[in-house]
A and B are shown apart, each in its own frame.
Chain A
Amino acid sequence: MKQLTIISFLIALLVAAVICSVCIGAVPISGRELLAIVIHRFGGDALGFEPQQEAIFWIIRLPRVLLGVLVGASLAVAGASMQGLFRNPLADPGLIGVSAGASLFAVIMIVLEVKVFTALSGLIGFYALSVFAFAGAVITTLIVYRLSKTGGKAVIATMLLAGIAINALAGALTGLLTYAATDAQLRSIVFWGLGSLGGASWESVAAVAPFVLLPMIALPRLSKALNALALGESEATYLGVNVKALKRQVVVWATMAVGASVAVAGTIGFIGLVIPHLLRLFAGADHKLILPASALLGAAVLTASDLLSRTVVAPSELPIGIITAMLGTPFFLWILIKEKRRMSV
């Protein structure tokens, strides 16, 4: 069966990306050593690896790779469902202000170093930034959603326009704050704005996991309704879909997933846009396949990008957003040109 083949292939791809990613780095771990480390964890003998390798694997590499998997999966699933909701294959969670809102709030936090927040930092450690960024994502999306409501209905075209406006506003405010920032703050803003999995730890994985896993379970349940929505809002209603509830659910789950991802890893572009698009070329349009497949491919691509980001200029690191955009843009343009040719034939 086609669906099964695609899913199995993507699972294999993800597993390969994860294994490469945990093995490659400043301290290389071979496949046999990796196996020995895992066996040791489950009660086997501590043979065939250096203790340093074990520490690096458990404390540094694995949480980072898992965070990459979670963030990649959530960005891609949110992107795919947003494209379904907006009935536009070029939509992106960024469109409704999730990323811009999170960025703005993070930058506020970094630049103003407000006393309240520094006090908060004491309480919840370095999560304050993430929590605040997440709040920013949710608030912006709420504003956009509210603005798009006319007569109790969220109008998709208005949502898009409101999203663009709010994005511009948030961008301007972020710019203003950047202008006022000190050099040290500027560096941290830039790094955050381009995304990085450098802050990964078991704590951050645990913090982000529920916000990613819940949407990952909830969104594929909306596959049928999202498919029907491709026919148009009226047509979906004729087929028994509660379009109003569908819109609300997709916005809530996508914001949750993307907000959490941006909060821990900064803004990472192009995954949400390119991954679902790429899959549709091979796997068709059915959300029942596209949503889980996007999660798998998004996770694999982000894991691989992170591997690149920390190895190409080792021992230094490139922000991961640079990698995804640099690889994503040419690829995306290639798709556009290809589509244009196909349409003109």
Chain B
Amino acid sequence: MIQVSHLSYCIGQKQLLADVSFEAQAGAFTAIVGANGAGKSTLLKILCRDYPLQQGNVYFHGKPLHSFSNMEMAKIRAVLSQQQQVSLPFVCEELVMMGRYPHFNGHPTKTDHEIVAFAMRQADVAHLQGRVYQTLSGGEQQRVQLARVLAQITDRREIIVPQMPIGTPKYLFLDEPITGLDLLHQYHTLDLVRQLAQKGYCVVAVLHDLNLAAQYADHLIMLKKGRVIAAGSPQQVMTCENIHRVFGVEVNLMQHPELGCPFIVNVRSRQAVCHS
């Protein structure tokens, strides 16, 4: 579980986050949503320790964020970033194996190889294993990075019994994981992430697509100008008022026919009638 309390962050005079507090439960998929420049990525970067903790507190499973060593963190927490340039011509399998680096010294063990193969199947990139990363399309590159991230925090038990709940806390952070993916792989990735959450992972993702966020996430945090406007279940957060307040857009809300979650239908006339 991640507890964030009274988090504020400034760069120069600009306040990027102001008094942000929330909890992200283990076993839940928490999505951070908001307009461009709302502070979503900043928040994620603080959780990833890319940015220092200026004000406020962050606890991972009751322990202060900065009490972990880099290596301790690397074994339980993986991050899928937006920017995914690789400077040297690595083959995909080598790249996914980097996810195992925190777990072995010298040479990878048989288990590491098994986990890499498993993660590549999970991310649907097993067929790309011998390809040079730079020669892949953007979406393929993103899935290879996803495989690397999965390999980092998957352990052997999970390969044997994929559905079994995990014993120790594990954290997965994703910054816009589905931007640039085709429809099939958007669903595939979110399904995968959701399954991980159901197994007990604490998943926090920045998502742009509100409909997909509502369908897949258990918990939404809506940010505007660095402040939390709403937090809770998709039903609680996705209201016409909140969406208008945060995105400045009038929308119609419907109910998803199967999942029952709110579903946005845009209003072309800009004279929305709120049905929620």
Contacts and interface: CB of A to CB of B under 8 A. Distances in A.
B177 interface: no
Interface stretch (A223-231, A256-264, A329-337): A223-231
B98 A239 contact: yes
Nearest to A87: B87
Interface of B is mostly: mixed
Which of A224, A235, A239, A285 is packed against the most chain B CB atoms within 10 Å?
A239
A interface majority secondary structure:
loop
Contacts of A227: 90, 94, 98, 101
B81 A286 contact: no
B212 to A, nearest CB: 25
B123 to A, nearest CB: 16
B261 interface: no
Contacts of B95: 231
Nearest to B77: A238
A247 interface: no
Interface residues of B, number: 28
Interface stretch (B67-75, B178-186, B200-208, B247-255): B67-75
Interface in A269-296: 280, 284-286
Nearest to A280: B89
A186 interface: no
B101 A224 contact: yes
A240 B101 CA distance: 8
A302 B54 CA distance: 53
Given A239-B102, A240-B74, A240-B101, A230 B88 contact: yes
Interface in A212-245: 224, 227-228, 230-232, 234-235, 237-242
Interface of B: 48-50, 70-71, 73-75, 77-79, 81, 83-91, 94-95, 98-99, 101-102, 152
30 contacts: A84-B88, A87-B87, A227-B90, A227-B98, A227-B101, A228-B101, A230-B87, A230-B88, A230-B90, A231-B84, A231-B95, A232-B81, A235-B79, A238-B73, A238-B74, A238-B78, A239-B99, A239-B101, A239-B102, A239-B152, A240-B71, A240-B73, A241-B101, A280-B88, A284-B90, A284-B91, A285-B89, A285-B91, A285-B94, A286-B94
Interface of A: 83-84, 87-89, 224, 227-228, 230-232, 234-235, 237-242, 280, 284-286
